[in-house]
């Protein structure tokens, strides 16, 4: 566990990173640079000065309005900053001032971006999912073995197994769902379109055709597994299933349209964070012991 002295810097760092993540969420799916130009007001296009770009504080001082046009600024921007800051504090509490904490701050940041982009566009950029997967497989085992004094081979095996379970399970669900739906004659609102056939086993697209469940979800869950291992990804799957159900019901009630699609990425991200900070499998194991008065 981390020391309280580490929490303040972690919060400040997280707030600043959260401000940058707002830029990434907006620009990455549009193919725009996340470095330049400077952030602008979405209404009047005026560049935002440094004094108006202080995470959370500037939003409060400006009353949630642009200094130039006085139009309201979405509450989402300070919310992303605050959530990222709190997640960094959580990582600092979980791992302390270690190299592993830096890696899991990157992990939390990737989840925030994936959730935000998927909520807006129903896509998860490969830069986030595949980039995180490479980091989880190449760096996390090394840092774990050095920091915790364990075997690198065991740590690597845990990351590979977690990625395989996460990506493999969701791929299987998507694969079977698409084929059964096609056999039942269901029509999907996207590819294959009019005049196109469902891919056949001899075609490469046959293995990657997931209407109703994007490959981005598969890659994101593989990334999660590479970071949190097999038990963590199972916790993520369980948490994401319940959270996704809740989000789906809430989305349907708010939109009053139960056929409106929404991304599964936010549920995966929330489930992964739940697995990181409150591992469900540990809770399950401890409940029987607590009931019997065990340690």
Q: pLDDT above 70 covers what percent of the chain?
A: 82
Q: What is the mean pLDDT of residues 66-72?
A: 90
Cβ–Cβ under 8 Å, residues 122 and 263: yes
Q: What is the mean pLDDT of residues 239-257?
A: 80
pLDDT attached to residue 249: 80
pLDDT attached to residue 194: 47
Tell me which of 35, 62, 97 is where a domain ends. 97
User: Do 196 and 294 lie in a common domain?
Assistant: yes
| Helix 7-27, helix 99-121: angle, nearest 10 | 30
User: Do 150 and 82 lie in a common domain?
Assistant: no
Per residue in 200-230, pLDDT tens? 665 556 666 666 566 889 999 999 999 999 9
* Domain tally, the chain: 2
User: Do 246 and 137 lie in a common domain?
Assistant: yes
Per residue in 80-104, pLDDT tens? 999 999 999 999 999 999 999 999 9
Secondary structure class of 267 (helix, strand, coil): helix
User: Do 112 and 74 lie in a common domain?
Assistant: no
User: Do 142 and 39 lie in a common domain?
Assistant: no
- 215-241: string of b/e by CB count within 10 Å (b at 16+)? bbbbbbbbbbbbbbbbbbbbbbbbbbe
CA distance 277 to 78: 23
User: Do 93 and 116 lie in a common domain?
Assistant: no
For the record, the structure tokens of 79 come out as 């919310």
- The count of other CB atoms within 10 Å of the CB of residue 157 is 14
User: Do 168 and 223 lie in a common domain?
Assistant: yes
User: Do 265 and 153 lie in a common domain?
Assistant: yes
| Enclosing domain of residue 135 | 99-295
Residues whose CB falls within 8 Å of the CB of residue 4, separated by 6 or more in sequence, listed in order: none
| CA dist 216 → 41, 103, 122, 220, 230 (Å) | 30, 21, 9, 6, 20
User: Do 153 and 137 lie in a common domain?
Assistant: yes
CA distance 66 to 73: 6
Closest CA to 78 of 35, 14, 29: 14
User: Do 222 and 288 lie in a common domain?
Assistant: yes
């Amino acid at each position: 566990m981390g020391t309280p002295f580490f929490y303040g810097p972690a919060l400040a760092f997280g707030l600043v990173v959260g401000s940058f993540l707002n830029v990434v969420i907006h620009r990455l799916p549009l193919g725009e640079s996340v470095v330049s130009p400077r952030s602008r007001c979405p209404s009047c296009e005026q560049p935002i000065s440094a004094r108006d770009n202080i995470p959370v504080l500037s939003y409060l001082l400006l009353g949630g309005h642009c200094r130039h046009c006085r139009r309201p600024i979405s509450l989402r921007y300070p919310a992303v900053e605050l959530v990222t800051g709190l997640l960094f504090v959580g990582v600092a509490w979980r791992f302390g001032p270690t190299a592993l904490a830096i890696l899991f701050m990157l992990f939390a940041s990737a989840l925030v971006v994936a959730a935000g982009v998927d909520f807006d566009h129903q896509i998860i950029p490969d830069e986030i999912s595949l980039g995180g997967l490479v980091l989880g497989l190449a760096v996390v085992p090394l840092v774990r073995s050095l920091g915790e004094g364990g075997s690198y081979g065991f740590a690597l095996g845990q990351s590979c197994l977690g990625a395989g379970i996460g990506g493999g399970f969701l791929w299987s669900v998507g694969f079977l769902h698409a084929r059964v739906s096609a056999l039942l004659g269901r029509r999907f609102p996207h590819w294959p379109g009019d005049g196109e056939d469902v891919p056949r086993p001899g075609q490469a697209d046959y293995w990657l055709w997931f209407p109703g469940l994007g490959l981005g979800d598969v890659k994101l869950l593989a990334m999660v597994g590479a970071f949190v291992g097999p038990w963590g990804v199972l916790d993520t799957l369980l948490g994401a299933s319940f959270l996704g159900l809740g989000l789906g019901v809430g989305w349907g009630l708010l939109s009053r349209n139960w056929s409106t699609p929404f991304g599964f990425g936010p549920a995966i991200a929330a489930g992964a964070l739940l697995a990181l900070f409150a591992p469900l499998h540990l809770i399950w194991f401890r409940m029987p012991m607590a009931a019997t008065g065990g340690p």
